[in-house]
């Protein structure tokens, strides 16, 4: 196999060179491309706080055996998944995945001490951390958290989110690289309601309070969506709301690819937003008919998203989080498939002969543009990806299945 991978790569290298693309330079860019693996695929967004239901308008479906039940199992699963994904990648933690030592630590009591063991683990495992506040799956979650007219509840969530920024800041300081902290709250209404302006004013005010303190080692991102389950009629943190907030306050909008209307293109947001905001965060997911959070694949929507980032020359202005949670599939395998698919999209984006296509476009030569874009789809990018796996000493093809099945047999099936 090694030999045929090498040969195929050499041919691919020549084919791309004919279009002015240096595959060696592309491979080194791909090596520098870091995903942020979402810890919550390992256990269907359960966390270590309580065995309560998942609330907040999101749902993980499926009951595949072997999910991680505690911090050690989750760490082992992440280490396994990472060993099957070429390159080095970050880990994105949610607050409910703290190391609470068996004690009940309420969300307005959480502190950096509950993440010290994660910080240590990350250093030992050459992994940088990102972070998320958690507004869902809590008795005070209700339908409204940061926009709740009840000041007591609102203040509880403000305190939680403020503390999460301190944790993120601590992580960023320890790892010598900013921790990217995402704020997503589920706030919304199931049915007709008349207080929209009030809720949004409250959310704005809560965010202003949360972000008041400067935190040099972390960056804030804010994530909108169309609607949550059971909150279908109104979403306080809509895209317009957060886009305006981010632009006015220099914050980072999060593009979750499952959070738009079915025919709306998340990819088209990239060039629009980057003219007004410093950076973007991605939550790469796969909506199937709704925000279903299926495992990411290399579909057209995902490809276009990564292509738009590369075409905008914005590789370094984007943080690449994943956000899917499928409980119906081997969860280690899900990490591997989704991460490798995102990498493949990035690879194809980097291999596009954009300069040449752009030249034709600027000359008004439309057929030529279309032709080259179509040709690019069939160039031997797979051979370049296989070579990337070989160089990173990560299995390809069937060998991935064997590894995942072995881990399932020896570890996850015994849970």
> By Cβ distance, which residue is nearest to ligand RNT?
184
**Active-site pick, 223, 308, 403, 408:** 223
Cα(86)–Cα(162) distance, integer angstroms: 35
Task: Using the minimum distance from each CB to Zn ion, give the nearer residue, 256 or 279.
Answer: 256
Active-site residue flag, 223: yes
Q: What is the maximum span of the chain, computed from C-alpha positions, in angstroms?
A: 67
Task: Using the minimum distance from each CB to Zn ion, give the nearer residue, 204 or 286.
Answer: 286
Active-site residue flag, 256: yes
Residue 320 contact, options Zn ion, ligand RNT, none, Cβ 5-8 Å cut-off depending on partner type: none
Active-site residue flag, 283: yes
Active-site residue flag, 291: yes
Residues that bind ligand RNT (CB under 6 A): 40, 45, 58, 132, 184, 223, 225, 256, 283, 291, 323
Cα(274)–Cα(318) distance, integer angstroms: 10
- Contact set for Zn ion, span 212-271 (CB under 5 A): 256
Task: Name the pairing type of β-strands 188-189 and 129-132.
Answer: unpaired
- Contact set for Zn ion, span 265-304 (CB under 5 A): 283
Cα(110)–Cα(112) distance, integer angstroms: 7
The three-point CA angle 366-368-374 to 5° equals: 105
Smallest separation, CB 293 to Zn ion (Å): 8
- Which of 376, 335, 375, 374 is closest to 352 using CA atoms? 376
Smallest separation, CB 196 to Zn ion (Å): 22
Smallest separation, CB 357 to ligand RNT (Å): 33
- Which of 35, 66, 36, 67 is closest to 54 using CA atoms? 67
Q: Could you say whether residue 319 binds Zn ion (CB under 5 A)? A: no
Task: Using the minimum distance from each CB to ligand RNT, give the nearer residue, 13 or 269.
Answer: 269
**Active-site pick, 44, 49, 130, 291:** 291
Task: Using the minimum distance from each CB to ligand RNT, give the nearer residue, 184 or 335.
Answer: 184
280 phi and psi angles, rounded to 5 deg: -130, 150
Active-site residue flag, 204: no
Residue 43 contact, options ligand RNT, Zn ion, none, Cβ 5-8 Å cut-off depending on partner type: none
Active-site residue flag, 259: yes
6 phi and psi angles, rounded to 5 deg: -60, -45
Task: Using the minimum distance from each CB to ligand RNT, give the nearer residue, 293 or 387.
Answer: 293
> What tokens were used for 234?
């109104």
- Segments in 140-283 forming alpha helices (H): 151-175, 196-210, 239-249, 267-273
Task: Using the minimum distance from each CB to Zn ion, give the nearer residue, 44 or 256.
Answer: 256
Task: Using the minimum distance from each CB to ligand RNT, give the nearer residue, 114 or 259.
Answer: 259
**Active-site pick, 43, 293, 352, 408:** 293
Instruction: Please give the size of the binding site for Zn ion, defined by CB under 5 A.
Output: 3
Determine contact, residues 199/171, Cβ cutoff 8 Å: no
Determine contact, residues 166/112, Cβ cutoff 8 Å: yes
Active-site residue flag, 150: no
**Active-site pick, 80, 160, 186, 283:** 283
DSSP assignment letter at 281: E
> What tokens were used for 212?
């008041």
Smallest separation, CB 259 to ligand RNT (Å): 6
Residue by residue, DSSP assigns 43-98 as TTT--SS-SPPP-SS-------S----SHHHHHHHHHHHHHTSSS--EEEEEGGGS
Among the listed residues 323, 386, 403, 408, the single contact to Zn ion using CB under 5 A: 323
Active-site residue flag, 99: no
Active-site residue flag, 225: yes
Handedness of CA 379, 338, 299, 241 (dihedral sign): negative
Residue by residue, DSSP assigns 129-179 as EEEE---SSSTTTSS-STT-SSHHHHHHHHHHHHHHHHHHHHHHHHHTSPE
Residue 225 contact, options ligand RNT, Zn ion, none, Cβ 5-8 Å cut-off depending on partner type: ligand RNT
Supply the residues annotated as catalytic: 184, 223, 225, 256, 259, 283, 291, 293, 323
Instruction: Summarize as ranges the residues that interact with Zn ion (CB under 5 A).
Output: 256, 283, 323
């Amino acid at each position: 196999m090694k030999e045929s991978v090498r040969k195929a790569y050499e041919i691919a290298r020549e084919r791309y060179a004919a279009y002015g693309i240096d595959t060696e330079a592309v491979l080194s860019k791909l090596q520098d491309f870091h995903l942020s693996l979402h810890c919550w695929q390992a256990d269907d967004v359960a966390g270590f706080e309580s065995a309560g239901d998942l609330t907040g308008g999101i749902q993980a479906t499926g009951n595949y055996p072997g999910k991680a039940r505690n911090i050690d199992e989750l760490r082992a699963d992440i280490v396994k998944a990472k060993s099957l994904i070429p390159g080095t990648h970050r880990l994105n933690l949610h607050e409910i995945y703290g190391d609470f030592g068996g004690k009940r630590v309420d969300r307005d009591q959480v502190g950096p001490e509950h993440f010290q063991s994660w910080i240590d683990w990350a250093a030992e495992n050459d992994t940088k951390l990102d972070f998320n506040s958690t507004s869902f799956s809590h008795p005070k979650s209700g339908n409204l958290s940061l926009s709740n007219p009840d000041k007591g509840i609102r203040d509880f969530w403000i305190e939680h989110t403020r503390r999460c920024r301190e944790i993120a800041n601590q992580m960023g300081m320890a790892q010598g690289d900013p921790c990217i902290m995402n704020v997503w709250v589920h706030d919304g209404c199931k049915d007709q309601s008349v207080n929209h302006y009030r809720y949004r004013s409250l959310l704005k005010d809560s965010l202003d309070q949360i972000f008041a303190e400067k935190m040099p080692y972390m960056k804030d991102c804010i994530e909108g969506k169309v609607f949550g389950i059971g909150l279908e009629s109104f979403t306080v943190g809509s895209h317009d709301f957060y886009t305006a907030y981010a632009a006015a306050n220099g914050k980072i909008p999060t593009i979750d690819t499952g959070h738009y209307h079915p025919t709306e293109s998340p990819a088209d947001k990239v060039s629009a937003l980057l003219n007004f905001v410093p950076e973007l965060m991605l939550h790469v997911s796969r909506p199937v008919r709704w925000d279903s959070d299926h495992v990411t694949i290399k579909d057209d929507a995902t490809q276009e998203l990564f292509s738009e980032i590369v075409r905008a020359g914005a590789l370094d202005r984007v943080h690449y989080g994943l956000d899917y949670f499928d409980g119906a599939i081997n969860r280690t395998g899900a990490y591997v498939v989704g991460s490798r698919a995102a990498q493949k999209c990035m690879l194809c984006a980097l291999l596009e002969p954009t300069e040449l296509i752009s030249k034709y476009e600027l000359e008004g030569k439309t057929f030529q543009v279309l032709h080259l874009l179509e040709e690019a789809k069939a160039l031997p990018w797979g051979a370049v990806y296989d070579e990337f796996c070989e160089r990173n000493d990560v299995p390809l093809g069937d060998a991935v299945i064997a590894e995942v099945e072995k881990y399932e047999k020896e570890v996850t099936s015994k849970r």
